[in-house]
Chains A and B, each alone.
Chain A
Amino acid sequence: MKITIYGSGCKNCVKLAENAKKAVAETGVEAEIVKVEDMKKIAMAGIMSTPAIGIDGEVKIKGRVATVDEIKELIA
């Protein structure tokens, strides 16, 4: 599974990446976490407000920091 974190590197994006790491660790799911910081690519993914999280290329939650529990549900 591939978890993508979209964001320009601002504080919220760092927080989201941390939450994703925690969720992966807590569920034990095999997943790779990738960060996308290029604005062009973020816009191309149809995201207008960062941070956002995507699973296997599909954007799931955007415009806010998804919680550890929310991410767990997404990857479970």
Chain B
Amino acid sequence: MFIIFERFADLVAYSLFGLQAGTRLGESVHFFFYDTTKIIFLLSIMIFFISIVRSYFPPEKTKKLLSNYRKITGHVMASLLGVVTPFCSCSSVPIFIGFVESGIPLGITFSFLITSPIVNEVALVMLYTIFGWKIGTLYLVSGILVGIVGGIVIETLGMEKQVEEYVYQISSGESEVEELDWSDRIDFAKAEVKEIVSRVWKYVIIGIGIGAAIHGYAPAELLAEYAGADNPLSVIAAVIVGIPLYSNAVGTIPIVEALMGKGVALGTALSFMMATTALSLPAMIILRKVIKPKLITVFVTVVGVSIIGVGYMFNFIM
């Protein structure tokens, strides 16, 4: 099915640029054109279908569903719904207020807010195409687990006083949800494809560009020594480096894939990806509007530690 992209890359790298197959530069350029065209094509198709599914889960419906569950079931449901509910970081504040104000426990709200950015359609498409279904599924399951565990810990710590007081005073009441028919859902999906692809294509190209350079040139021995499975500190270092790096999964995944080819361990790579998507400075600045610094610290610590746990687990079992 991807032969057409292979041919296109052949054409550009070997005919147009006149590079030799089998040389470092030739392979890097070929890899770059093959991966960028293939991924942008797959992204467009997958975002379309995922958006159709998502059109059934507007945040209002998620809120209603979640208010029926408590305890562990609540955390599991919140984390799962975090995967399918359309979410962008600019909506995290109204979603947070809506959830808390309607009586959904703080920890369950966090289960949702943690999973949502870690597991998103774009990251999953990239993971499944670049790494295959095994690693894609591992990432999906562990992202959901991080959300469940993180939310439970925050709930147990009883942080309700660390939410800005005004949040509890807001009463937004019930708001209607638009009824959608099939043509609305298809329009929504088309708009999502257009919006997401026009936003992320640059990162795909930059990420794959860096990945291609690493494929051709990065010193394998050095990376394997510092970030291989034998170095016990590599996971922690990857998470600490990943937090301030604000990149979406799109830019990070091709780089991580190339690094793994050079001997970086799987768990270390997954932790790095999760840290860049789940914990970022802009997201924390947005959340600061509704929660106090102490809870932000707890949030970062809990999520950071869970991600490190995931990293060690994978390095251990793989």
Contacts and interface: CB of A to CB of B under 8 A. Distances in A.
A10 interface: yes
B102 to A, nearest CB: 10
Contact of A42 (B94, B173, B178, B199): B94
A43 B290 CA distance: 11
B166 interface: yes
Contacts of A63: 58-59, 86
B68 interface: no
Contacts of A39: 93-94, 97, 289-290
Interface in B141-180: 166, 170-175, 178
B98 A48 contact: yes
A49 interface: yes
Interface-central residue, B90, B93, B166, by most chain A CB under 10 Å: B90
A65 B191 CA distance: 9
A contact residues, range: 20 to 34
A64 interface: yes
Nearest to A42: B94
A61 interface: yes
Nearest to A13: B90
B95 interface: yes
Q: Is the interface of B mostly helix, strand, loop or mixed?
A: helix
A10 B90 contact: yes
Contacts of B172: 43-47
Interface in A1-24: 7-8, 10-12
A55 interface: no
A40 B174 contact: no
B246 to A, nearest CB: 15
Contacts of B87: 49
Interface in A32-52: 39-40, 42-50
A58 B101 CA distance: 20
A31 interface: no
B178 A43 contact: no
A68 interface: no
B60 interface: yes
A24 B173 CA distance: 30
Interface string A51-76: 00000000101111100000000000
A48 B95 contact: yes
B175 A49 contact: no
B129 interface: no
Contacts of A42: 93-94
B175 A7 contact: no
Interface of A: 7-8, 10-12, 39-40, 42-50, 59, 61-65
Closest 6 CB pairs of A and B: A46-B175, A43-B97, A48-B59, A39-B93, A46-B172, A48-B98
Given A8-B90, A39-B289, A49-B58, 18 more contacts: A12-B195, A39-B93, A39-B97, A39-B290, A40-B97, A40-B170, A43-B98, A43-B172, A44-B170, A46-B174, A47-B172, A48-B60, A49-B59, A49-B91, A61-B178, A63-B58, A63-B59, A64-B191
23 contacts: A12-B195, A40-B170, A42-B93, A43-B93, A43-B98, A43-B101, A44-B172, A45-B172, A46-B98, A47-B172, A47-B175, A48-B59, A48-B91, A49-B86, A49-B87, A49-B95, A50-B90, A50-B91, A59-B175, A63-B59, A64-B188, A64-B191, A65-B191
